[in-house]
Amino acid sequence: MRDVAVIGIGCTRFGEKWESSFRDIFVEAGTLALEDAQLSGEKIDAMYVGNMSAGRFIGQEHIGALIADYAGLATRHIPSTRVEAACASGGLAFRQAVIAVASGMEDIVIAAGVEKMTDVGSDESTDTLTGAADREWEGFMGATFPGLYAMIAQDYMHKYHMTREQLAQVAVKNHYNGARNPIAQFQSEITLDTVLKSTMVAEPLRLFDCSPVTDGAAAVIVAPLDRAREFTDTPIKVLATAQASDTIALHDRRDISTLDATVAAGQRAFKMAHLTHKDINMVEVHDCFSIAEICAIEDLGFCRKGTAGKFTADGETALGGKIPVNTSGGLKACGHPVGATGIKQVCEIVQQLRGTAGKRQVDGAKIGMTHNVGGTGATVAVHILGRV
């Protein structure tokens, strides 16, 4: 197996992009990544595209071919593959690209993610996202994703006595980071009161505990590490790629407030990279709801089970803290175009390791991690990247 490096990244601004089509935004992200790697489309050998549900959001299927076509790569007949794993689609697209290069099958590969979610009404977008849960046993019973994550939050708060104020600190911290990210959907800081007085969605989750509906695209380019300096002076090595699965329905889980797939994928990634938690300088986790970040940092092993609320409230996950979490603003503030999120996480870590993250830069960043979740934890992808 060959060592793999990220040689280029590109990301659109996230938000409600009424002026841009699905095709516009993925072309923009891909162009930015090619420019960053200083190479032309003729050098690309393959493409993997994370997309959850273009068929429901914009009425378009056959996404791999569509993107190859409008990216100007169809006449070269490169393989372009859509990857779907609900909200983990982007993370798995990146994993497939890394595997393709590591295996020697391909040399220069694009991993991208894209979602255009605002072209349908809120009812339809909520129903579409519910397809990432068990439609028969959860969706048909009226359980939406806010409802499912509210169950996780209720279970967690009952077991571990986390306060509502501690949970709200996740959103406060992530909006602080998002206010320093030029691509973020929300670029304003908020207060604890903002969260606690926002509209109730599903007890105990309020509006400011929930990630938004978002349009956006992101792309990264990977290549063999031994060729990486042909394209960039700052290649970022992929130290580990891991994936794990769990039951799709919450009622079949061993423990609904522990995502066992996160535990498994995290352990596999640390083993592959020959690293420990102390080696990680920052982590992008899947905070689709504030409780998801609480569970993630525990399940990945950055703090003991039941302590993440206090850990967050004490500032340990903030910029300058023990382990900065979601320096991009996370899904909560940066936005969550579901197919693109896993790729955006990689882009954020690459910027941090290059030292180009501006006002949200983690001092001395050398190694970072990403954590991307599909559904309520049925699919999890974890990656570790390091500065060469």
The alpha carbon torsion through 341, 347, 349, 351 (nearest 10 deg) reads: -150
Domain ranges of the chain: 4-121+214-236, 132-212+239-387
Q: Structure pTM? A: 0.97
**What's the rounded mean pLDDT across residues 6-33?**
97
Whether the upstream peptide bond of residue 212 has omega within 30° of 0, thus cis, is: no
CA 47 to chain CA centroid, Å, is 19
Residue 41 confidence class, pLDDT cut points 50, 70, 90: confident
**What's the rounded mean pLDDT across residues 168-175?**
98
pLDDT at 360 over 90: yes
Q: Retrieve residue 289's tokens.
A: 């709801």
Look over the chain and give the mean of its residue pLDDT values, rounded to a whole number.
97
376 CB-near residues (< 8 Å, 6+ apart) = 133, 145, 148, 149, 152, 250, 259
Helix runs in 187-301, H state only: 192-196, 260-273, 290-299
Note whether 4-121+214-236 and 132-212+239-387 share their fold.
yes
Rounded CA-CA distance 252/51 in Å is 26
pLDDT at 136 over 90: yes
- Owner of token pair 């882009």: 347
Strand, coil or helix: what is 369? strand
Known catalytic residues are: 87, 336
**What's the rounded mean pLDDT across residues 175-198?**
98
Region of poorest pLDDT, from 114-123, 286-295, 333-342, 366-375: 114-123
pLDDT at 373 over 90: yes
pLDDT of residue 138: 94
Residue 387 confidence class, pLDDT cut points 50, 70, 90: very high
**What's the rounded mean pLDDT across residues 222-238?**
96
Integer-rounded Cα radius of gyration of the chain: 19
Question: Percent of the chain, pLDDT > 70?
Answer: 100
**What's the rounded mean pLDDT across residues 164-190?**
98
Q: Does domain 4-121+214-236 have CATH number 3.40.47.10?
A: yes
**What's the rounded mean pLDDT across residues 187-216?**
97
CA distances from residue 155 to 159, 238, 373, 378 in whole angstroms, order as listed: 6, 36, 19, 18
Q: Which CATH homologous superfamily contains domain 132-212+239-387? A: Thiolase/Chalcone synthase (3.40.47.10)
pLDDT digits (tens, 9 = 90+) for 293-352: 999 999 999 999 999 999 999 999 999 999 999 999 999 999 999 999 999 999 999 999
pLDDT digits (tens, 9 = 90+) for 56-105: 999 999 999 999 999 998 899 999 999 999 999 999 999 999 999 999 99
